[in-house]
Amino acid sequence: MWFPRCVRALLSVFIVTSSLNVFTALSAAKQPHIVFILADDYGWYDVGYHGSEIKTPNLDQLSASGVRLENYYVQPLCTPSRNQLMTGRYQIRTGMQHSIIWPCQPYCVPLDETLLPQLMREAGYSTHMVGKWHLGMYKKDCHPTKRGFDSYFGYLTGSEDYYDHIRCAPITPLNLTRCALDFREGEEVATAYKGAYSTELFSERASRIIQTHKSNKPLFLYVALQAVHAPLQVPERYLTPYSFIKDHNRRVYAGMVSAMDEAVGNITSALKQSGLWENTVLVFSTDNGGQTLTGGSNWPLRGRKWTLWEGGVRGVGFVASPLINQPGSVSRELIHISDWLPTLVNLAGGKTKSTKPLDGFNVWNTISKGHASPRLELLHNIDPLFEDTSPCNGNSWAHSGFNVSIHAAIRWSNWKLLTGYPGCDVWFPQPDSDNSESKILEMHSLKPVMLFDVEKDPEERTELSAKFPTVVDYLLGRLSVYQKQALPINYPDEDPKCDPGPEGAWGPWA
């Protein structure tokens, strides 16, 4: 059929434009939606599939249909884990190898670091964050919406009340403790959510983001739950199944775990009901080991949160997705929280060229296909300033220069080397048992250098440094190399200008 030249031109433009739109839609369809759920202070023993008395049916079912990561490592504290998740780099690279960011400290993840959500946005993703940030907030440039997230709903500091969202923190230079709201919607203070339990509030917001997402564009959703960090608070209905637990802290903690498990189930249901699930990769991870002082358990692993023992750094983690090649499997390959950035960005079809040199590896084939992990070595940390805030037995070591009295640990193959004082070193007994395992320490003394075969001895009971001096020498050499590469520790004094006042909210002041 003959058309005038102007009509033919318009038809050509229409056909080309339509083809480009179809191509774009098809390209986007190939990019999986990625949902990353991060629990807070979740203990190794406290998931059903590790034998816990706490019921976690959603986590059990999801992980059973995906891949359980049983040789997966995180950092022993909140800020360091989140830092490495977002940068793909060890904390020695960012000067953040010591402790966490406290509300009045004027620093954040360095602004010249390219973060995971920025890379996902560059790959064409809608990027959303719900929950706990804890990567610095003293100025607006540090906030989630300035670091790659299209939207943010949550709190900026490290902990707070689950219902009124108030954070109380000392302001040492002013010699006072300030209690103020810490809740944001985007960059604005959010005052409308008082009384809403945060675990439920965050799962509802995450579900709404999923339900309103347009499926022709890939979604990256980061849900950093407050659960199960202290304070111990949970609606009464979650406590009823745990009346048999004698210890009060453990009983409330169990209820908090159940609420978290329900939240994960609700987020997963939203993905399925919205038709996104078949093209979704869901990652679940804890940020560090459980805090035994507030009901958590890492049984049978040694230590707890804050420590470099396995109880502080071996994390509950799994991946669930219809896109996995070998669903229903258990991976015992070495994987670290810094591996998620290159893994997820590559899975998304993105590029990591804009980042500084990464310590993380792309481990998707390890997870999905059961291939050997490209990771052979893992630096847990080097922190010359370490001080255990809640030591269980009063141990400590003097610190001067790099020597074996420095708090450090490194994993290589099956070996793990610890130097200095790794933190509280107790094997806390199995919950609700008459086990006296914690007394075993009376028969052992810590040494400045300790070596364990954590493949054969994940409980770190048999110290082997005297039997394998060559391994010790090699790993001390590796620690020395890393120490030479480390940035100076950035851990500034509190700034009194942080004070939000009696009616204000925690937030940027610089």
- Mind telling me the catalytic residues? 78, 134
Owner of token pair 């945060």: 198
What is the C-alpha to C-alpha distance for residues 23 and 209, in angstroms, rounded to an integer? 25
Record the tokens describing residue 506, joined without a space.
Answer: 């925690």
| Pairing, β 415-419 against β 449-453 | antiparallel
Q: Annotate 66-119 with DSSP letters as a single string.
A: SEEESSEE--SSHHHHHHHHHHSS-GGGTT--SS---TT----S-TTSPPHHHH
Angle between helices 248-273 and 57-64 (to 10 degrees): 50
Q: Annotate 440-509 with DSSP letters as a single string.
A: GGGG----SEEEEETTT-TT--S--TTT-HHHHHHHHHHHHHHHHHPPPP--PPPPGGG---TT-BS---
The conformation of residue 82, written as its DSSP 8-state character, comes to H
- Kindly provide the b/e burial profile for residues 420-438, where b requires at least 16 CB atoms within 10 angstroms of the residue's own CB: bbbbbbbbbbbbeeeeebe
Indicate if the alpha-carbon torsion angle 350, 355, 357, 360 is positive or negative.
Answer: negative
What is the C-alpha to C-alpha distance for residues 463 and 141, in angstroms, rounded to an integer? 46
Phi-psi region of 29 (alpha: psi -120 to 50; beta: other; left: phi over 0): alpha
Owner of token pair 């946005």: 121
Chain centroid to Cα 149, Å, comes to: 17
What is the C-alpha to C-alpha distance for residues 463 and 64, in angstroms, rounded to an integer? 34
Record the tokens describing residue 211, joined without a space.
Answer: 């339900």
What is the C-alpha to C-alpha distance for residues 217 and 220, in angstroms, rounded to an integer? 10
| CB 374, CB 366: distance < 8 Å | yes
What is the C-alpha to C-alpha distance for residues 301 and 232, in angstroms, rounded to an integer? 23
What is the C-alpha to C-alpha distance for residues 213 and 284, in angstroms, rounded to an integer? 21
Half-sphere exposure at residue 446, Cβ-oriented, CA atoms within 13 angstroms: 20
What is the C-alpha to C-alpha distance for residues 184 and 191, in angstroms, rounded to an integer? 8
Owner of token pair 């030249």: 5
